[in-house]
Each structure stands twice: as structure tokens, then as C-alpha cells.
Amino acid sequence: MSQYQGTVISALANFYWVFLEELDGYFLCTRRSLLKKIGKSILVGDLVIVEELDYKSHSAVISQVFPRSSILKRPPMANASQILLFFALADPPLDPWQLSRFLIKTESTHVPVSLCLNKTDLVSQEQAWQWQQRLQGWGYQPLLVSLSRQEGIEQLASYLLNEITILSGPSGVGKSSLINALVLDSSQKVAHVSGKLHRGRHTTRHVELFKLPNGGMLADSPGFNQADLECSPGDLAQFFPEVKPRLGQCQFSNCLHREEPNCAIRGNWERYEHYLQFLSEVLTEGIPESRESTFKVKMGYQGIKHFEPKLEFKKYRQNSRKQRQQDLQHLYRQDEDSQLDF
């Protein structure tokens, strides 16, 4: 039986499109029932072995899945070697807080992250240079491109060479347009930015890998207007590259870099306010939903929210004099009734 190694480029329900490098073709595959019985999932980016090829219908069966070098939950994908975070300088306008949030989300995956800014043609050279200098202070060297003018495409293509790259970012920044520019046989749907909300519309519904002409693959992931933060409060600071050299220099090993004495992180750096906001959020998410009613929010130093347990004062409040007299009268009546019964 002939076997071929391939890469899963798309998954929908129980069907998988697999690209076979040796045959230079795409095959629609199902998986062996044994893989389902042992609970082996198949993700976009997985390296697999396929059998029972039907060249007429271009169908086959996946019989084996190789171990993964990396795995992401959202978007669900395996074996990604880098993440390209794609934003626009204008239309929609570049929001520092949203950009910082996406950067923290991508850094928390522990996959190498790079930043690319599109639509340089909509801003002045001075504005683009200011953003570039600002982001260098955050610890990044952003690539500047203009898809409408075809500027910076060759430099970006060389960066993607022979890599499996996840293209991520908010809606409306030009991710689908970038794939159309890099992939010859791609026909990604492109949507315009909302005029009222200044936000993009979602055009990508699922993860899909595209083969680049010069080698490598590019994964288009669904766009989001806000990235979810999934990390522990103690790990949050390590996802800010600008303060990584100072990690481990605080007086306390469990320092959250807020009010603790001799903290090496707390200070005058641009994204410190972002850090405090994100820290408050991950601390809130750490409280179980079933216990939310037993906690109250308190505003602390520099406007940071923390949570304290609510006290049930009704259980410990002393009864009023009127209530005590009523209780005594009730006891007297019960005593009189019991004597009459006797």
C-alpha cells in the first residue's frame, strides 16, 4: 500500500484537505477510525501519513499523525514556527491599547512573534516613523508595508520564506489582501472597514494554510476586534519584552509589580498602564463564577482593582430592642399555652 507524507491545510468537520509535496497535489481525506478511538485530533498544520489514494476523486485516508512541535488553541493549529501580527496604521486607526493586547496574547503562545504595519500610504512619513520608533521602545522591529502601492511586499515575503506562519490581527487591516498579494492562486474575500465603528468586518471564518510560491506556508486566521488574555497573573510581566531584562530583580519572588516594596518592574515605562489593566483583568478571571457574588471590588493604588470577600452582616447583626421585646412576648405566649395544655 502506497503511503505519502503531507500537511493538513484545512479542516472542516471530519474532512481534511492535505497537501502532498511529493505529488504536488491536494487530497480530500478522512481519518482512520482508530485515530478517533484513541482520541487523536487532527489540526491544520499537522504532518500526517495518508493511504488509499484515489487519483480520480483526489481522496485519501489519514492513518498517522506525527508529533507536534507547537500547538495553539485559538486559532487551533499545529506546528507553527512564527506568528506575524498584522495591523494597519489607519483605516481602522491604530489603537495602542488594542495593539498591546494582541501582542500580549501572541507572546503568551511562546511562538516567535513579529509585527507588520500596513497602509503606510494613508499616513505621513513622519507619523509612520514615530510609530516605528515607539514600537522599538516596546521591544519590536515592525515591518512597514503598503498593499495598495505594493511597497514592502518583497521584504515581507523573504521573512516568510520556508516558515509556517500564522497571520493574525484584528478585522479590516488587510490580512486577506496580503494573502492575495503573496499567494498566486488565492481568492480571499476582502471586506471594507465600517464607516461608523471604524472596525473591520470578519471575512475569514476558519483557519486555512496557503502554500507560498517560493517555499513556506501562511495560515490565515479569523480576525478579532479583541484578543482574549489567557495567562496567570505571575506570568503576565514576561510577555512585555521591554521589561524582560529586569525580571527576577524584585525583592519578592511572587511580586505582581504593583504596590510591593523594592519592585524592579514598577516604574515610568509606556506600557505600564496597560500592564496594570491587563493584570486586573486576569486577576478577575481567576475568581470562579460561582463565587462572584461573595466578592466585592475595591479600588487600590493607581486605580488597580482587587477583590475582597463580602461579609454577611445580617448573620452577626444584633437585634433591635423592639425585636427583642417582641421575641420575649412570643416566648411568654408559648409558655402560657403550654401551661394551659398541661
Q: Which whole number is the average pLDDT over 213-219?
A: 90
Average pLDDT in the 42-58 region?
94
Same domain assignment for residues 86 and 214? yes
Q: Which three cell numbers stand for residue 96?
A: 495602542
Looking at 23, 44, 67, the residue that finishes a domain is 67
Assigned domain for 332 exists: no
pLDDT above 90 covers a percentage of the chain that reads 59
Is 84 contained in some domain? yes
Assess whether pLDDT exceeds 60 at residue 204.
Answer: no
pLDDT of residue 193: 44
Does residue 88 share a domain with residue 216?
Answer: yes
User: Quick one: 203 and 287 in the same domain?
Assistant: no
Is 309 in contact with 294 (CB distance < 8 Å)? yes
- pLDDT the model gives residue 299: 52
Q: How many residues does the chain have?
A: 342
User: CA angle, 235 as apex, 230 and 239 as ends, to 5°?
Assistant: 80
| Tens digits of residue pLDDT in 145-194 | 999 999 999 999 999 999 999 999 888 898 888 999 998 765 444 444 44
Looking at the structure of the chain, the number of domains it has is 3
Q: What is the pLDDT of residue 25?
A: 92
Q: How confident is the model at residue 318 (pLDDT cuts 50, 70, 90)?
A: low
- On whether both 94 and 216 belong to a single domain, the answer is yes
pLDDT band, residue 201 (cuts 50/70/90):
very low
What are the start-end ranges of the H helices in the chain?
33-37, 96-107, 125-137, 153-159, 175-182, 272-285, 321-341
Q: What CATH number is attached to the domain comprising 22?
A: 2.40.50.140
Residues 58, 125: one domain? no
Task: Say yes or no to pLDDT of 302 above 80.
Answer: no
Q: Do 184 and 275 share a domain, yes or no? A: no
**Dihedral Cα 3, 4, 9, 14, nearest 10 deg:** 0
Domain span at 49: 4-67
Least confident segment among 55-59, 222-226, 277-281, 299-303: 299-303
Among 122-131, 143-152, 215-224, 293-302, name the one with the lowest average pLDDT.
293-302
Asked whether residue 328 is domain-assigned, the answer is: no
Same domain, 20 and 86: no
Give the closest residue to 49 by CA, choosing from 93, 6, 8, 88.
Answer: 6
Tell me, yes or no, whether 11 and 137 share the same domain.
no
- Give the pLDDT band of residue 12 (cuts 50, 70, 90): confident
Mean local confidence (pLDDT), 111-124: 95
Query: pLDDT at position 103, please?
Result: 95
212 and 131 within one domain: yes
